[in-house]
């Protein structure tokens, strides 16, 4: 049911840094602001849905935005609500758990009939439409006072794109044209990203946590040296920024009762970038933990030990206040559960950093855990 989610958990990072820095606390926005781990306010006044790239501009044609919402705890079911002088429009994007759209249409009809009961909606028809890159199922209703309600539903690479509109009967063709135009913009932005994500082959996850302390210390030193050099190079004025990866939501879940979102990074061509991320669900800026595979440190370690055929080394890190903290290593790509357990332990303070580094100018500072 489409309803606002109250009390979204604000996650705070509680693990002590190597230099005993205080834990960062999320700056809570006003209570009526959408969760910052789901919606990002852009400089032009739009809200961007972080999980898909869906755009909710302040103005949409003749409509003005009233509110953006998240209807679940993770941001997998969201909506943007707009009002005009003679019509209202809301659109939703929801990650489906099943293959078909029939259940989504049935739910939308039920909600329209329940919450619009005062207007006495009468079902008129259910039709289909295509030709703009989307295959629509459209249900229309007739209301009191010469009003109409319409529900438009289509698939967007495994997500359900839904529009609901209320308007005067004379505006039927105008509203239909508006929905198709607005949906074309969604298809070109969020739709392109979701299509890239949907085409990617599943990631192989068969990791073993590294527990040998000598191996951890050696890996931490190598990661810090090479990471610090890379960080210093990236900070130089001559450094060329790398293309931003395509972030794909792979899964969500609760670990130690902390809601987490699990991401995978892809190249523009859908290639695996060997970078996973886990973010907290929070009212303020989320905590982001990175799990990166290979790189120079992993290659050097494998070759140095004469084990080039061993599983790729993956490193768990957190960037915080200009320094990178290392929280563990895996032989192979960690599973969702392994990442979730590690992040939950970081947040509770039971998992401590095993090393870290900071680059400032040409100086690289390496942190080691206290004995």
pLDDT grade, residue 366 (50/70/90)?
Answer: confident
**CA 13 from centre of chain:** 19
| Predicted local confidence at residue 112, as pLDDT | 94
* Contact status, residue 317 vs residue 306, Cβ threshold 8 Å: no
pLDDT score for 223: 87
pLDDT tier at 139, thresholds 50, 70, 90: very high
7 found inside a domain? no
Percent above pLDDT 90 for the chain: 67
Mean pLDDT over residues 341-354, rounded? 95
Please check whether residues 195 and 61 belong to one and the same domain: yes
Q: CB atoms < 10 A from the CB of 26, how many?
A: 18
177 and 313 share a domain? no
73 and 115 housed in the same domain? yes
In a domain, 19, yes or no: no
* DSSP run (H or E) holding 262: strand 258-266
What is the pLDDT at residue 63? 97
Same domain for 112 and 155, yes or no, is yes
- Helix-, strand-, coil-residue percentages of the chain, each rounded to 5: 25, 35, 40
In a domain, 28, yes or no: no
Question: Considering the domain boundaries, does residue 13 fall inside one?
Answer: no
- Choosing from 199, 228, 247, the residue where a domain stops is 199
Same domain membership, residue 332 and residue 243: yes
- Which phi and psi (to 5°) does residue 129 adopt? -150, 145
Task: Tell me: do 213 and 195 sit in the same domain.
Answer: no
Decide: helix, strand or coil at residue 254.
strand
Q: How confident is the model at residue 100 (pLDDT cuts 50, 70, 90)?
A: confident
User: Of 174, 199, 224, which marks where a domain is finished?
Assistant: 199
- To the nearest 10°, report the CA torsion of 27, 29, 31, 32: -160
Q: Could you tell me the pTM of the whole model?
A: 0.84
Within-domain flag for 3: no
Q: Looking at the structure, do residues 189 and 219 belong to the same domain, yes or no?
A: no
- For residue 43, being part of any structural domain is answered with yes
Same domain, 65 and 170: yes
Instruction: Transcribe 46-93 into DSSP letters.
Output: -EEETTT--EE-SEETTEEEEEEEE-SSSSSEEEEEEE-SSEEEEEEE
Domain assignment present for residue 20? The answer is no
Alpha-carbon distance 141 to 126, whole Å? 9
pLDDT score, position 297: 53
Residues 6+ apart with CB under 8 A from 115: none
Which residue(s) pair with 89 in the sheet? 82, 165
109 close to 126: Cβ distance less than 8 angstroms = no
Helix (H, G, I), strand (E, B) or coil at 259: strand
pLDDT band, residue 287 (cuts 50/70/90): very high
Q: Name 214's Cβ contacts closer than 8 Å, sequence gap at least 6.
A: none
Residues 242 and 110 placed together within one structural domain of the fold: no
Quick one: pLDDT at residue 32?
Answer: 52
CATH number at residue 125: 3.40.1000
Residues 141 and 234 in one domain: no
> Residue 28 — very low, low, confident or very high, per pLDDT cuts 50/70/90?
very low
Higher pLDDT, 234 or 161: 161
- What's the pLDDT tens digit per position in 227-268? 777 666 666 555 566 678 899 999 999 999 999 999 999 998
CA gyration radius, the chain = 24
Are 192 and 255 in a shared domain?
no
Does residue 34 lie within any of the structural domains?
no
pLDDT in tens, 32-90: 568 899 999 999 999 999 999 999 999 999 999 999 999 999 999 999 999 999 999 99
Contact 267, 199 (CB under 8 A): no
Indicate the residue among 199, 216, 245 that finishes a domain. 199
pLDDT tens readout for residues 101-124: 999 999 999 999 999 899 999 999
Q: How far apart are CA 16 and CA 111, in angstroms?
A: 47
Q: How far is CA 94 from CA 34, 45, 49, 75, 129, in A?
A: 17, 23, 12, 9, 20
Q: Averaged over 316-330, what is the pLDDT?
A: 92
pLDDT at 241: 64
CA distance 72 to 92: 12
User: How open is the CA angle 116-184-33, to the nearest 5 degrees?
Assistant: 55
Tally of structural domains, the chain? 2
Mean pLDDT of the chain: 85
State the pLDDT at residue 232.
63
CA angle 272, 212, 215 (to 5 degrees): 65
> Containing domain of residue 262, as a range?
208-367
| Domain co-membership, 236 together with 183 | no
């Amino acid at each position: 049911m489409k309803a606002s989610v109250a009390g979204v958990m604000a996650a705070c990072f509680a693990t002590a840094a190597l230099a005993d820095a205080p834990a960062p606390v999320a700056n809570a926005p006003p209570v009526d602001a959408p969760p910052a781990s789901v919606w990002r306010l852009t400089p032009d006044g739009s809200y961007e849905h972080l999980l898909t790239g869906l755009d909710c501009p302040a103005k949409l044609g003749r409509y003005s935005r009233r509110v953006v919402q998240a209807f679940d705890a993770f941001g997998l079911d969201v909506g943007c609500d707009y009002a005009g002088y003679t019509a209202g429009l809301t659109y939703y994007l929801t990650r489906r758990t099943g293959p078909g759209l029939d259940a989504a249409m049935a739910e939308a009809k039920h909600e329209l009939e329940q919450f619009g009961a005062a207007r006495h909606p009468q079902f008129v028809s259910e039709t289909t439409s295509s030709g703009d890159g989307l295959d629509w199922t459209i249900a229309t209703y007739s209301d009191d006072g010469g009003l109409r309600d319409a529900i438009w539903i289509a698939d967007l690479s495994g997500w359900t794109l839904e529009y609901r509109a209320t308007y005067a009967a004379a505006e039927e063709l105008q509203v239909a044209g508006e929905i198709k135009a607005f949906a074309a913009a969604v298809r070109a932005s969020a739709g392109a990203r979701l299509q890239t994500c949907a085409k990617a082959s599943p990631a192989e996850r068969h990791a073993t946590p590294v527990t040998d302390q000598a191996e951890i210390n050696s890996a931490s030193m190598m990661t810090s040296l090479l990471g610090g050099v890379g960080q210093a190079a990236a900070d130089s004025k001559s450094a060329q920024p790398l293309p931003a990866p395509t972030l794909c939501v792979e899964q969500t879940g609760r670990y130690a009762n902390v809601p987490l979102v699990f991401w995978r990074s892809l190249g523009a061509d859908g290639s695996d970038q060997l970078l996973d991320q886990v973010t907290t669900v929070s009212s303020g800026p989320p905590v982001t933990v990175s799990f990166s595979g290979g790189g120079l440190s992993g290659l050097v370690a494998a070759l140095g030990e004469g084990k080039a055929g061993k599983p790729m080394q993956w490193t768990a890190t957190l960037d915080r206040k200009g320094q990178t903290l290392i929280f563990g290593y895996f032989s192979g790509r960690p599973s969702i559960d392994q990442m979730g357990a590690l992040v939950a332990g970081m947040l509770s303070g039971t998992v401590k950093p095993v090393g870290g580094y900071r680059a400032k100018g040409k100086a690289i500072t390496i942190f080691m855990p206290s004995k």
